[in-house]
Amino acid sequence: MTRKPTLAVVGATGAVGTVMLSILSERADVWGEIRLVASKRSAGKRLVVRGEEVEVRLLEPSVFDGVDVAMFDVPDEVSAQWAPIAVSRGAVAVDNSGAFRMDPDVPLVVPEVNGAAAASRPKGIIANPNCTTLTMMDALGALHAKWQLTELVVASYQAASGAGQPGVDRLYDELGVVGGRRDLGVRAGDVRAALAEKLGDQASPFPAPLALNVVPWAGSLKDGGWSSEELKVRNESRKILGIPDLRVSATCVRVPVVTTHSLAVHATFASPVTVDEAHEALAEAPNVVVVDDPAKGEFPTPADTVGADPTFIGRIRQALDFPNTLDLFITGDNLRKGAALNTAQIAELIAAELS
């Protein structure tokens, strides 16, 4: 290809899309035209990418004509309908929804871990993993390469922006109500009552108050009481790491953080691994930063991670009672590595392939 490839960003005005535009503006510019696409509600808006204003175009089949790579940052059902249309018009679709992730004919790609998988895409579609799974994949991929992962027990501390812009807006609204009060969080229901009084029946994407609270639920209900988010962590980790029998239990919990997911991970390997060896392997891993000196108060937190590209790993401990097992704490910006950044990295793999 002599011209630079054309990129379409579908869902350019959402929470992930907004971060995508700044990521595309920051990274080495491999793209020719960047076409911004959204639903009727947002078409016609003008957004800035690479320092230039671009008018958002309506999502319709012809918008994909001449497009080489089409990224989708939209709900599952929109991707399910439109990614195949983009492919039929000649684009490779890189989809950040859950619509295609477990399709055996769609690779699920984390470039640092299984980038080669992107080359084989029978449907012309490549899937971007769920943000919770992505938070730990770079670190676990590096450890798995050396010691062979066999078991994962994960508890998440997930940010409001995992529920999109409505999640962010709701958390800010709730913090506006509780901030300055010193009488809340001391009696059952007092936070609910304060929110109801000030915010009325304004819809929340969360099934309980998030300010001054944690909510052990994300996604939809599946068999056995599992949430869809918890099953994604299991099934997507297995597919990305190529360990079909990886044993996984996850409990997914929303916390009052705007952006950046955190995970407490209990990871068991086939062979013995020490903390020093893990530090060494992670120091060499791409896009992973080890922050692990609690004596100096150094460990990853969401407030220190948000806006950064790498994932941060700390609190690495050898389990006292479980052989070949490490306990660790991982943070990652759920809108960047957890979504837009990983999608951009996949798209760049395709751009390199086309050039």
By CB under 8 A, the residues from 164 to 183 that bind its own copies are 172, 175-182
Q: CA 334 to CA 355: how far, in whole Å?
A: 30
- 131 tagged catalytic: yes
> Closest approach of Cβ 336 to its own copies, in Å?
11
Does 104 interact with its own copies (rule: CB under 8 A)?
no
10 closest CA partner among 77, 115, 86: 86
Question: Which of 227, 237, 311, 345 touches its own copies by CB under 8 A?
Answer: 227
Q: CA 213 to CA 249: how far, in whole Å?
A: 23
> Closest approach of Cβ 184 to its own copies, in Å?
7
Q: Is 181 annotated as a binding residue?
A: no
Residue found by looking up tokens 């676990």 in the block = 140
Q: Is 89 annotated as a binding residue?
A: no
> Within 267-326, which residues bind its own copies (CB under 8 A)?
275, 292, 294-295, 297, 299-308, 314-322, 325
Q: CA 309 to CA 222: how far, in whole Å?
A: 32
Catalytic residue (one of 144, 252, 261, 266) = 261
Q: CA 58 to CA 45: how far, in whole Å?
A: 10
Residue 52 DSSP SS3: strand
Instruction: Decide whether 3 or 198 has the Cβ nearer to its own copies.
Output: 198
Q: CA 168 to CA 199: how far, in whole Å?
A: 15
> Closest approach of Cβ 330 to its own copies, in Å?
10
Contact between 301 and 331 (Cβ < 8 Å):
yes
Q: CA 237 to CA 250: how far, in whole Å?
A: 11
Q: CA 73 to CA 342: how far, in whole Å?
A: 12
Does 242 interact with its own copies (rule: CB under 8 A)?
no
Instruction: Decide whether 3 or 279 has the Cβ nearer to its own copies.
Output: 279
Q: Which stretch binds its own copies (CB under 8 A): 23-31, 40-48, 201-209, 282-290?
A: 201-209
Residue 341 DSSP SS3: helix
Return the percent helix, strand and coil in the chain, to nearest 5. Answer: 40, 25, 40
Does 139 interact with its own copies (rule: CB under 8 A)?
no
325 closest CA partner among 253, 256, 275: 275
Binding mask 207-226 for its own copies (x = CB under 8 A): xxx--xxxxxx---x--xxx
Instruction: Decide whether 118 or 178 has the Cβ nearer to its own copies.
Output: 178
> Closest approach of Cβ 333 to its own copies, in Å?
9
Rounded to 5 degrees, what are φ and ψ at 94?
-115, 110
Question: Which of 185, 205, 228, 354 touches its own copies by CB under 8 A?
Answer: 185
> Closest approach of Cβ 133 to its own copies, in Å?
16
Q: Is 15 annotated as a binding residue?
A: yes
DSSP annotation of 223: G
- 252 tagged catalytic: no
Question: Which of 2, 187, 244, 284 touches its own copies by CB under 8 A?
Answer: 187
Contact between 123 and 103 (Cβ < 8 Å):
yes
> Closest approach of Cβ 107 to its own copies, in Å?
23
Query: Can you give 101-150 as a three-state secondary structure string?
Result: CCCCCCCECCHHHHHHHHHCCCCCEEECCCHHHHHHHHHHHHHHHHHCEE
Catalytic residue (one of 131, 144, 252, 266) = 131
Does 192 interact with its own copies (rule: CB under 8 A)?
yes
Q: Which stretch binds its own copies (CB under 8 A): 67-75, 107-115, 137-145, 251-259?
A: 251-259
User: Which residues form the catalytic set?
Assistant: 131, 261
The annotated binding site is made up of 13-16, 41-42, 101, 158, 161-162, 254, 334
